[in-house]
Amino acid sequence: MKRKFFNLFALPLCLLLMLNALSSQQTAGELLQKALWMEEAQGDIAQAIDIYIEILKRFPDERKVAAKAQLHIGLCYAKLGLREAKDAFERVIAEYPDQGEEVKIARQLLSRLARAKAVIEKGDTELTMRKVFTGHPRDFVGAPSPDGKYLSTVDWTTGDLAVRNISTGKQRRLTHKGTWETPEYALVSIWSPDGKTLAYSWLNEGGFFELRIIGLDGTGSRALYRNREYFLVQPYDWSPDGQFILAGIGEQQRVTQIAAISSVDGSTRILNEGRGIHPGFYLPDGSAIVCETVSASPGSRGSDIVLLSVENGKEIPLVEHPAHDFSLGWDPQGSRLLFMSDRTGTMSIWALEVADGAPKGQPYLIKKNIGKMSPLGFTRAGGLYYVIYTSMEDVYTAALDLEKNSLLAAPRQAEDLFMGANSSPDFSPDGNSLAYISRRAHVPGRFESLAICILSLHSGEKRELFPALELMSFIRWSADGKKFFSYGIEKKGRKGLYSIDTQTGAVDIILTCRLDEEVIKQLDVFPDGKTLAYKMWERKKVGEGNVMSIRVRDIRTGEEKELYHKVNASESHHMSLSSDGRWIVFDDRTPLWTLNIIPAGGGEPKEIHKMETGEGPTSFDWKPGVREIFFTKSISGQLNQLWRMKLDGEEPQRIDMSMRGMRELCFHPDGKRIAFSAAYREAELWVMENLLRLERSEKAFK
């Protein structure tokens, strides 16, 4: 009992005291840098304010730092839209008159606040867009509350459903599952019309999603819908009277049924099934649902918008156009549908008047060129909250000094023109070129236009291919350099393994995969050029156990041999073939991440390295000509690292190289140079106000 007490209480207390002691030793300047990092890089405004206040309390005599801290308290309050910003700026002027630069900035900001207040008091109706905070893309899986006070989300440190106070940035968990030792978690969540209850999807102990509801105060949690026959159930909207929850039901990522699930007893009514139609939201009177469906327009690869009757399931077309059209919301101040469309070449907001369940006139433009936004929903006051994804990924090359386990020079970026949108590098077999995938456009919720860039390592010249594929997960050169191999999706919907001509970009199918069930995670090419090795992930129905396998395929005949087969496998992504074609290294999770090798001709696999808790491989490759593996590793809370490991039993050695999001490692044929991609995942929450007051494009273009 004494040992348990120590583990549960005394040890965490000791760690807390140690952390407090370390914090107390920080200088004013160090605390200021920490606060600036929290404010500007992490977007944690509430934590930044706490640190600024701590500086004022502990270091009042260090006036330069204290004045900066007071100024940034005002800036933080201003970002949160709080009236306290004015008081904070006035304190800078009153208490730090000797700090000229900070006083000057505070006066300017006070002047701006005064002008903004005057505009508001006059009843401003102009469209405004304001950034709320910055976070990770996975934070934005919820919606704003009807009163605009909260954003529902997931606390990914535990997997619990949570709400974040939009004004203060404080986050509060509603569920309390504990640690990730319990592999359950919340995902998509939506608010009831009165803002007192949340409906959310929850991955349960059985490995499939169920629909739950819970009160804003964390009470009243219960499951409404639980069906082992279907992996997915996702809430989309509440009926206006709060009696039903509009949900999509299906397998994996594909909705096959649209259902209305009672918020009282969980009874379920299927409204539509078996088609590529996705639910959106209820009309204000609850009589119909706005849905998106595959466009029926000739030559279109976009989506249309229809009304689905709740009473009889009848579909009424609303928006039919070859462009990508996505429902945005219903204008609560009038009888019109707001939707996004790229029919002008860029994504813009349009409106369509609707009367008696049918379109009235033609759609009209109200806000042109809204950029890469993904809507989360409207508040009761008409504010539209949306996400802008600012993630960046680029391809780099570097030369290694293997004697010193370091780099000869800093990594060099391969692409200068389309920065932030490049991935999957691979050197040509002759070592003269580097190829990579480059994204060229963005459509919310759909695929992007993709190019294959081929960069000459001698002249620096670049040429581009645009294969007829809507998705390419990776590219690999063929042994003769005449083709690329890639896993992707065609514009007509077929998915599988493809070859792409390196001169023309022409595409041929090699292997067709079952939609939503089979995914090729990675492949490599044997030196003879006749055979491929690839890693397949098969998503099975609930209870059957997902399968991970490694297969070898003859490119000409299609004959295959399975080298490895694992049922109930965790999803893993990586594999690599040694340069002599004799060995394959792959990753697995058992439950810790491991690196394993298997003979390419068949045989028993062997574990060669097990990672620690919080670590995982992000890529690996064999050094040409030797039995040595280099791998990139993610470690919780740190930059990704580069490591090397020989197969003679020696412990792995770290290379003096770290980068954020480093992955997709590949070796040049000379064994001295590498290419890789590095990424950071980031997104911003914005709010668009007064959108509902815009009528037609004349105002939007002012």
pLDDT of residue 91: 92
Task: Count up the domains in the chain and report the number.
Answer: 2
Among the candidates 78, 100, 121, a domain finishes at: 121
Give the sign of the dihedral formed by CA 637, CA 166, CA 87, CA 121: positive
pTM for this model (two decimals): 0.72
58, with CB counted inside 10 A (0-12, 13-18, 19+), is middle
d(CA 600, CA 585): 9
- Retrieve residue 118's tokens: 């005057």
| Range scoring the smallest mean pLDDT among 33-42, 258-267, 420-429 | 33-42
Domain assignment of residue 147, yes or no = no
State how far the Cα of 214 lies from the Cα of 204, in Å rounded to an integer. Answer: 16
Residue partners of 464: CB distance under 8 A and separation at least 6? 438, 451, 452, 453, 454
* Residue-number span of the structural domain to which 673 is assigned: 392-680
DSSP letter (8 states) at residue 590: S
* Higher pLDDT among residues 427 and 127, named by residue: 427
| DSSP assignment of 282-341 | E-TTSSEEEEEEE--STT--SEEEEEEETTT--EEEEE--SSBEEEEEE-TTSSEEEEEE
624: its two tokens? 């040409």
In sequence order, what are the residues at sequence separation of 6 or more whose Cβ sits closer than 8 angstroms to the Cβ of residue 420? 391, 392, 393, 394
Chosen domain end from 75, 93, 121: 121
Q: Could you tell me if residue 399 is inside a domain?
A: yes
Phi, psi of 697 (to 5 degrees): -65, -20
Distance of alpha carbon 235 from alpha carbon 328, whole angstroms: 16
Q: Indicate the angle between helix axes 63-79 and 28-36, nearest 10 degrees.
A: 20
Q: What is the mean pLDDT of residues 329-338?
A: 82
Residue 212 lies in a domain: no
Residue 481 lies in a domain: yes
Q: How far is CA 656 from CA 18, 26, 398, 646, 676, in A?
A: 30, 28, 12, 17, 15
CA distances from 661 to 328, 392, 499, 658 (A): 33, 10, 28, 9
pLDDT tens digits along 578-629: 999 999 999 998 889 999 999 999 999 999 999 998 899 999 999 998 889 9
- In whole angstroms, what is the distance from residue 693 CA to residue 542 CA? 47
576 lies in a domain?
yes
pLDDT of residue 81: 64
Q: Is residue 26 part of a domain?
A: yes
The predicted structure's pLDDT at residue 42: 64
CATH number at residue 665: 2.120.10.30
pLDDT value at 527 more than 60: yes
Average pLDDT, the chain: 86
Is residue 294 in a domain? no
What CATH number does the domain containing 38 carry?
1.25.40.10
pLDDT grade, residue 298 (50/70/90)? low
What is residue 591's predicted lDDT score, i.e. its pLDDT? 83
Average the pLDDT over 259-273 and give the result.
Answer: 94
In a domain, 161, yes or no: no
In this prediction, residue 299 has a pLDDT band, given cuts at 50, 70 and 90, of low
The set of long-range contacts for 36-45, using a CB threshold of 8 Å and a minimum separation of 24, is 36/72, 39/72, 39/75, 39/76, 42/134, 43/133, 43/134, 43/135, 43/684, 44/133, 44/169, 45/76, 45/79, 45/80, 45/133, 45/168, 45/169
